[in-house]
Structure 1
Amino acid sequence: MSTNTHAVSRRSFLKTTGALGALAVAAGGAASADAMFGEVPAAFADAQEKITWGHCAINCPGRCSLKFHVKDDEVAWVDTFTSKDAGFDDPQPRACLRGRTYRRWLAHPDRLSYPMKRVGKRGEGKFERISWEEAIDTAASKLKEVIDTYGNEAVYVPYATGVSASTSRPFNRMLSLVGGYLNFYNSYSTAQISCITPYMYGSKQSSGSTLSTAEDAELILLFGSSPVETRQGGAVSHYDWAHLREKTNAKIYIIDPRMNDSVMGHSDTWLPINPGTDAALVAGIAHYLIEHDMVDLDFLHTYCVGYDEETMPEAYKGKNLSYYDYIMGAGYDKVEKTPAWAAKITGIPVETIEKLAYEVGTTKPLYVNQGWGPQRRSNGEWTSWAIMALPCLVGQIGLEGTSNGTREGSNSISLSSLPKGTNPVKKSIPCFLFTDAIDHGPEMTAKNAGVKGGDKLEVGIKYMINYAGNCLTNQHSDINKAHDILSDESKCEFILGVDTVMCDSLKYADIILPDLFRFEQVSMIGTGGDNAYMIAGQPCTSPKFERKTAYEMATLMAEKLGVKDEFTEGKTEEEWIVELYEQSREKDPELPTYEQAMEQGVYVRPGKKKVSMEKFRTDPVANALDTPSGKIEIFSEKLLQFTDGWELQDGDTLAGMDTLPAIPVYIPEWFGVESTTEEFPLALTGFHYRGRIHSSWGFIEDLKEVNPQEAWINPLDAQERGISQGDTIRVKNQFGVIELLAKVTPRVVPGTVAVSQGAWHDADMFGDAERVDKGGSINTLTTQRPSPLSKGNPQHTNICQVEKVSA
C-alpha cells in the first residue's frame, strides 16, 4: 500500500488530533497545543517545505510514524500518518503525544553536539569538549588496555533501549572482531515471564493470541495490563484495545492495583487487587473450580503434566507435589487455598472471588491475558506461571476466542538486523546484575547469580560501552548503590557513553559521543499488533554540529583497532540497510521494494487473527510442544533439575523449603503487602506513564507540565498522614528518599502507593547526605536483589512510608 506525502496544514493537523489538544487543555492550561507542537517559526514562513518520513526508535512496539516538515534544513514541525496519507481509514500507526514533541528533543538546549571527556567525579556531570580524534583514540586505547590486562570477559555492553532499528547495535559487531565481550541475557521488562514460559509451554509458544481473537470471547481477563499506557501510539496494543472495546460484547475484568487508563470509561471492569498477589487470586479461583467440579479434566489429562497425581511424572508420584495437592492443602505448605485464604492476601472480598471463579468456570470462550507488571516482582516467575495455568484449568487454550495467559501476540513485520558477528566470549550474566559484575564479578557463579556459559566469572567488568541507555542508574534499581559502584573508578575503569542528551547514566561516562536520531539518518523498522506495518525514512536534515551515527563511531573505533575492513565489509550504513532489507524480502515477498518503501514512508498490511496453540490443541501428538514431555507442564521436572543446588536467600521460596517450587504457587514478596513493617507500612508499586517511555522524554519540559511526576495514594492513607492533592510529599524506605507531588485518588488500592517509573533522577550525590531525589525516580527506592529463578528485575516489589513535606 502506498502513501502520499502531501503537506497538511497545522490547522488541519490540530483538527485531526483533537484528543491531544484536549489533553493539553485538560491539564489545566499547563501546556497549550502551541506549546506542545509549536508554531512554524516566522523565519520559515516563506521557505520551501520538504517532507520526510521517519520513525520513533525508543523501546515501544508502536514504532510510530513521524512526518517531518523541514524548511531551511530545520524541522519546523512534526506530523504523523493519517488516512489522508494512506487513502484508507484504518489502521493508522499515528504518533502519540510524545512522538509529536520530537522537535523539542531534536533542538533541545541539552542536546549533545560534540565529543566530550569527563573533568569531574564520575556522576558529577562535568565535561569539556574534545576532538573526535582524541575521543576515539582514548576509547580505543582504553579498550585495548583492558583487553590486554584482563581479557575480553571484562568488556561489556549494558542493556539499553534508547534505539531500535536494523543497524542499531554496531558496537557489538565491532567488539566481536577484537576478541568479544561478556554477554547478557534477559531484559529489564520481561525477565520473569520470559524465563518461566518455556518451562510451561516450551520455547516456541512465548506469546498469546492477538487481541483481535478476543473479539470472539465471552469473558476477558487482563492481569496487570494497560495497553493504552504501556503501548500508546502506533497501531499496536493501544490501538487494538480501543478497537476491541468497540467490537466485543464480552465481559471484561482488568485486575490491577490501580484503576489504570485502560479501564477509564468502564469502571465496572476494574477488579482492585493488592500488588504482587495475583497468584494467590488464581489459587483461590482454582480451589473454587475444583470444589465445584468445574475444571476440564479431559483437557488437563490429555494436554498437561502435573495437574494431579495421575498426570505427574513417574519419579514424582506419591509425594504430594502436584498442583491439585498444593491448592487443596496436601502439598508444599499444607495450606488449603480457599477463596477466604485468597481474600485475606489479595484484598478482594470472598464473594467477589467466588463470583469471578464461577464466571471463569461457566463462561466460554475465555481470553486470559497478562501484562508485564505482575511478573516484574520478586515472585514474578510464579505469578506469570499461575496466570498461564488459569485458562488450562478450564480447557480454554487453542480455541477461537481464547489465549494461553501470556501477553497478546502480534502480526509484526520482522526485518533483518546488522550481524553482530561471532562473539568468542561465551559467558553471559543476567542484565540486571551488571553492577554486581562490576563490584564483585569473580564471586558470581552459575549457582548464586545465574552465570551461563561457565561456572563463574573470572574477572569483573572493567570497560563498558553504554549506547542509548539510561540503565546504569536511572532505570536500574537502587540508584544510590549503583552510584557508589559506578563512581569508584577502581572498579569499572572506563565507560564510553553514546547518546543524544545528558541523561543521569551518561554522567558516569569518561568519554561521551554525540549521537544522531534514527530520523536524522536512513533507517527502517518493522512492528505490528493486530495489523503489521513498517516505516522507512530518509534523514530529515543534514547532520548538525559534530554529531555522528553510531555506525560511523563504531567504524572509527574499528579503524583504530585494525578491524575496519572486517567491520564494514566495504559497505556504508545505507548499503547495509539495503542488503538487510533484501534479506527480509526473501523471507517476506509481500514487502515492497526498497525504493518503494523509501518513497512510501509507511507500509501497512492487514493482519489475521492468531489463536495461540491452535495446532497443539487440534493434535497434541503431531504438534507436540518442545517441553520435555511435549505437553503443557504445570509441574516442571526440568526446573527442579536446573536449579538443583542453587544458593537461595530467605524469601526466595516458600517458608520451610530449600528448593524453588516446581508448580505455580503463591510466594509472598520480600517487600510486599505481607511484609510491610511499622517503619514502612505501605506497599510501593510502579507503573508506566503516558508522559514517557521508560525515561525517554523525561526531560521535555512541556510533557512534564502535562504529565507531572506524582505518587498515587488512596484518600484513606492520605488522610491519616495529613496529605492533600498537590502537596509535595516524601516517599522513603531503606534504600532512599524521593520528593514528588501527591495524587490523592481512590484509583489506587488502600495500603499501596503507586509511582510511575522513568522520572529523571535529580539528587545531589556528593553534597546531600540523604541524597534526596527531587526528580521522583522510583528506582531510588527499589532493591537490586534479583528475583530467584530468572535473576530478573523486581522493581515493583517495595515497601515505603510517606510524609508531607513541611512548607
Structure 2
Amino acid sequence: MNKDKLKLLNIDYKDLNFIRDLIQEDGFYPLESNFSMDEEEKIVPTSGSHNCGGRCIIKAHVKNNRVMRISTEDDIPDTEKMPQLRGCLRCRSYRNRMYNCDRLKYPMKRRGKRGEGKFEPISWDEALDTIADNLKRLMYKYGPDSIYIQYATGNEGKLSENVWMKRLLGMYGGYLSYYGTYSTACTQAATPYTFGTIYTGNSREDWVNSKLIILLGFNPADTIHGTNTSYYLKMAKKAGARIISIDPIYSNTAVALADEWIPIRPTTDNALLDAMAYVMITENLQDQTFLDKYCLGFDEEHMPPGIPYGNSYKNYVLGKGSDKIPKTPVWAEAITGVPRETIIRLAREYALNKPGALIQGFGPQRHAYGEQIARGGTVLASMTGNVGISGGWASGTGYPVREGYVASIPHYNPNKSKISMFSWPDAIIRGKGMGSNLGVRGTDKLSSNIKLIFNLGGNCIVNQHTDSNGTAKLLENEDLVELIVTSDHFLTASAKLSDIILPADDMMEREDIVTPWGFGDYVLFMNKAVDTLFQCRNAYKWIEDLSRRLGLLEKFTEGKSLDDWIKYLVAKTADKNPGFPCYENFKKKGVYRWIYDEPCIAFKKQIEDPVNNPFSTPSGKIEIFSTKLWKMNNHKEIPAVPKYISAWEGPEDLQAEKYPIQCIGHHSKRRVHSTFDNTSWMEEVEPQRVIVNCEDAKSRELQDGDMVKVHNDRGTIILPVKITSRIMPGVASIPQGGWWIPDEKGIDRRGCINVLTRYKPTPLAFGNPSHTSLVEIEKVY
C-alpha cells in the first residue's frame, strides 16, 4: 500500500509500520523512536476487560507512549483476609497481544462472497454510512426482531461496545435480545427451580469451615472462577478440609489441591449423584429432619397436591418410579466408569462429614441434558443438610449472594422479544413465527428472521458456537442475514464471516470500569496507559457518530463525553456505597474493596427463620420436585425431579461403535476462551494439542507429538497429540478456543473443538451442549 493511499484513508504511514518495527525476540519495543529516550517510565494501574475467570490488578509500565512491560499488585501486604489481586499469565503477556502485527488497523468492508475472507480498507465515514443505511432499511422493513446484538464477551467493561449499542438501538425502536450465557446456560435455567435464585454460593472465605469439599468439574487453577479462588481452596486444605476432584481430567486444581481424583465419563455426572443418593437412602444417612422441614418432593409424604403417587425423588432413586430401575452403585458404575466401591465411600463421606461443600463447575452442565446435573447437586446438598450453614454449599449455580453494587450505563429496550443466546441460528432460518417451543421469551412469536447482526467484541458467530462448519455455511448465505458488523482487534474466525469490520481500541488504550467474574468483593478502574494506535476507535466515539446518522445524537450522549459517563458511573456507585471514593481517588488508586467482618452464607436466613424468610420458589421451600417443570409435560427430557438422562453422543449412544471417544473441550490456562489464541508467548506456555489417554494412544499406535486426525460426521481437525495418564480412557479433550482455520478441503488445522460439536440446544435452557461429542482419532501418515 503506497503513502498516497494511506493518506486518503487517514492512516499514518509510520503507524502502519510501527508493529512490524517492534518485533524482537525478547519482547516488543521500538527499535527506532521519535520520542526522547530520556523520558521517565510511568506506571499506570489498570486491569483486563476480556472475559477471564479472574479480574486482576495489572500495571502497565509505560515509556515513550509504549507499554514496555507489565507487572501486577505488589504494593499492599498479602494477607489471608485480603490477598493481592495478582494477574496470571494471560494479562502478564498482554503486551505480546497488544503489539501483534496482525492487529486490525482501519475499517474494512467485504469484497467477494461472504466467508472468503477478502476485505479492503475503507474510511470510518463509509463504514458508518453503510451501517446506518442498512439499519434504517432493515428496521423499517422487518422491525426490531430483525436486529440482533450477538452474545460477545471479548470486552466485559462497563463501557463496552455492546453497552453503547444496546443504548442506541433501544432509542431507535429496539432490538432482539438474548438470555443466558454460553458458559452457564443450563445451571442458570435449572437452579432457580430448586431454590428460586441462581445466587446459591457462600463467600469463599467460608470454605475454611468445611470438612469435605467435592469439586465436581470445578478447576479454578485454570478457569480461575474469580481471582484467588485457588487460594481460598488452599486455605481450606490448610485448615483440614479433605478435597476430592471429580473430573474426566486430572486437572491442575486436582494436582495442586485434591486428596483424591475420581475420573468420570462426560455427561454421566447425574448417574453418580443418583447412586450416591441411593446409598444415603438405603443406609439411612440422609438428614431427614432437614428434608421434612425445608424441602418439597423428596419423598411421597412431602409432595405437592395433585401429583400422582410414585413421582418423588426417593421413589425414582429406589426404582419405584416409572423406569423401575434402582439407581444402585452397580448401575452407576456401568454408566460413569466410577467403581461401585468408590461411589459408596463417596456417598458416606459426604453424608457423614458435615459441613461439606459440593461445588459444581460449569463444565458438567454443558452437555445434552445439563439442566439435570445442576439440580442434581442441589438435591444432594439438601439431603445432607448442607444448605444455609457455614462450611456447607447449596450447589447449583453457586454464584455468591454477596455482591457490591456497581452502576451501569442506562439503556432500555422497548422490544421484549428474547431468544436463548445459543439459538440464534434458528432465529436466522425460521425466526418469523418462532415461539416458546424454541425458547422465545417475552412474546408469543418473533415477527422476523434475524437480518442484521452486530458482533461487537466476540467470536461466537462461528468459533465459539457449535458446529463451526455448519454455522459458517449458514452465515455465508447473504439472502438470510443481510449485514454482519464486527468490531474487534483481529481478523478472527467470526470477523472473516462479516461484511463490515471495525478496528477496536485496546483495553490499555481506553478508560473503563470492570468488576470480578463470579467471586470477588472489589471493583477496578481501568486507566488508559497509552494512546490508541492506527485508526482504532473507542466504541463510544463511533457509536456516537452512528447516533448522529440516526438523528439521536443528543438523546444518546445527553451531552456527555466518555469521561463524563465514567464520572456518572462512579457517582451512581457512590450513592449506594457510603465511603466509595470520589472519581479522582478511584482513578488514582485503581481499585475499591468491600470489607466484611464475616463470611456470607447463602440461605442462612431461610434456614434459621423459614417462616419469615421463605425460599423464592412457588412453595417457599426447596423444591426437589418442581410443579412448574411437571406442568411443562415433557417428563422424559424435562423431569420434575433431577434424573440421569442418557445423552445423545454420550457413552451409551450406539454411535459409540463408530466414534468410540468422548471429546470435550476444557478451558486452558493459555487462553480466555478464544482471546490470546494468536499470542505467541502463550503458545509457548501450552501449544494447542488433543489430550489422549495412554491406553487409547497405544491401541491406535500413537506416539506423543504425532499429528492426528480427530473427526466425526460434522468435520475433521488435524493437530498434534499429547499422550498422558491425566485423562481417563475413552475420553479426549481439545482446549476450547482455538481459532477455526479450515484449509482448502475444509479440514481445520488449528484445533477448533467446535468443528466436532453439534448444534442441538438443550431442552429446558436451550443452552450449549458442547461437551457432548463422539469422535474417532487416527494417526496422520
| TM-score, scaled to structure 1 | 0.90
Map of 2:159 onto structure 1: 167
Map of 1:219 onto structure 2: 212
Query: After superposition, where does 1:284-323 map in structure 2 within 5 Å?
Result: 284-318=275-309, 320-323=310-313
Distance 1:223 1:215 in 2: 18
- Helix, strand or coil for the counterpart of 1:580? helix
Distance 2:696 2:612 in 1: 56
| C-alpha distance after superposition, 1:4-41 (max 9, x if no partner) | xxxxxxxxxxxxxxxxxxxxxxxxxxxxxx96766796
Preserved CA contact (<8 Å) 1:428 1:453: yes
| C-alpha distance after superposition, 1:722-779 (max 9, x if no partner) | 1111111111112111111111111111111111110111103xx31xx110110100
Query: After superposition, where does 1:363-762 map in structure 2 within 5 Å?
Result: 363-410=353-400, 412-421=403-412, 423-442=413-432, 444-447=434-437, 449-527=438-516, 531-607=520-596, 608-641=598-631, 643-644=632-633, 654=636, 660-675=638-653, 676-762=655-741
Alpha-carbon distance, 1:120 to partner: 2.8
Alpha-carbon distance, 1:189 to partner: 0.5
Distance 2:715 2:180 in 1: 26
Alpha-carbon distance, 1:79 to partner: 1.6
Alpha-carbon distance, 1:314 to partner: 1.3
Distance 1:86 1:394 in 2: 36
Preserved CA contact (<8 Å) 2:234 2:257: no
- Helix, strand or coil for the counterpart of 1:98? helix
Shift of the 714–164 alpha-carbon distance from structure 1 to 2, 3 Å rule, reads: same
Distance 2:766 2:131 in 1: 31
Preserved CA contact (<8 Å) 2:405 2:576: no
* Seq. identity, %: 38
Q: Are 2:180 and 1:202 aligned?
A: no
Shift of the 275–489 alpha-carbon distance from structure 1 to 2, 3 Å rule, reads: same
- Helix, strand or coil for the counterpart of 1:498? strand
Map of 1:785 onto structure 2: 760
AA aligned opposite 2:246: I
Which one is further off, 702-711 or 404-413? 404-413
AA aligned opposite 1:231: I
| C-alpha distance after superposition, 1:501-560 (max 9, x if no partner) | 111101111111111123311212232777522221331112222111111111111100
- Helix, strand or coil for the counterpart of 2:442? coil
Preserved CA contact (<8 Å) 1:119 1:128: yes
| C-alpha distance after superposition, 1:35-82 (max 9, x if no partner) | 676679686863322221221001124222221111111111222211
Distance 1:36 1:304 in 2: 60
Map of 2:171 onto structure 1: 177
Preserved CA contact (<8 Å) 1:535 1:602: yes
Alpha-carbon distance, 1:264 to partner: 1.0
Preserved CA contact (<8 Å) 2:83 2:228: no
Distance 1:580 1:325 in 2: 53
Map of 1:240 onto structure 2: 232
Map of 1:251 onto structure 2: 242
- Helix, strand or coil for the counterpart of 1:262? helix
Preserved CA contact (<8 Å) 1:737 1:773: yes
Distance 2:228 2:257 in 1: 21
Shift of the 409–41 alpha-carbon distance from structure 1 to 2, 3 Å rule, reads: farther
Shift of the 359–241 alpha-carbon distance from structure 1 to 2, 3 Å rule, reads: closer
AA aligned opposite 1:709: Q
Distance 1:257 1:98 in 2: 25
Which one is further off, 705-714 or 462-471? 705-714
Distance 2:199 2:168 in 1: 31
1:345 aligned residue (325, 332, 335): 335
| C-alpha distance after superposition, 1:618-653 (max 9, x if no partner) | 011211011000000000001222x24x7xxxxxx6
Preserved CA contact (<8 Å) 1:731 1:800: yes
Shift of the 194–361 alpha-carbon distance from structure 1 to 2, 3 Å rule, reads: same
- Helix, strand or coil for the counterpart of 1:144? helix
2:272 aligned residue (281, 285, 288): 281
- Helix, strand or coil for the counterpart of 1:333? coil
Query: After superposition, where does 1:63-142 map in structure 2 within 5 Å?
Result: 63-83=55-75, 90-142=82-134
Distance 2:227 2:429 in 1: 42
| C-alpha distance after superposition, 1:382-419 (max 9, x if no partner) | 01111111111121111111010135444544421111
Map of 1:360 onto structure 2: 350
Distance 2:557 2:430 in 1: 36
| C-alpha distance after superposition, 1:204-257 (max 9, x if no partner) | x5231122212111111110000111117x734234334433x33011111111
Map of 1:16 onto structure 2: none
| Number of residue pairs matched by the alignment | 751
Which one is further off, 136-145 or 519-528? 519-528
Which one is further off, 221-230 or 406-415? 406-415
Q: Which runs of 5+ in 2 are unaligned?
A: 1-23
Root-mean-square deviation (Å): 2.0
AA aligned opposite 1:331: G
Shift of the 413–528 alpha-carbon distance from structure 1 to 2, 3 Å rule, reads: farther
- Helix, strand or coil for the counterpart of 1:527? coil
- Helix, strand or coil for the counterpart of 1:314? coil
| C-alpha distance after superposition, 1:686-720 (max 9, x if no partner) | 21000001001011112112211111111111100
- Helix, strand or coil for the counterpart of 1:615? helix
Preserved CA contact (<8 Å) 1:412 1:529: no
Q: Which runs of 5+ in 1 are unaligned?
A: 1-33, 647-652
Shift of the 341–210 alpha-carbon distance from structure 1 to 2, 3 Å rule, reads: same
Alpha-carbon distance, 1:483 to partner: 0.6
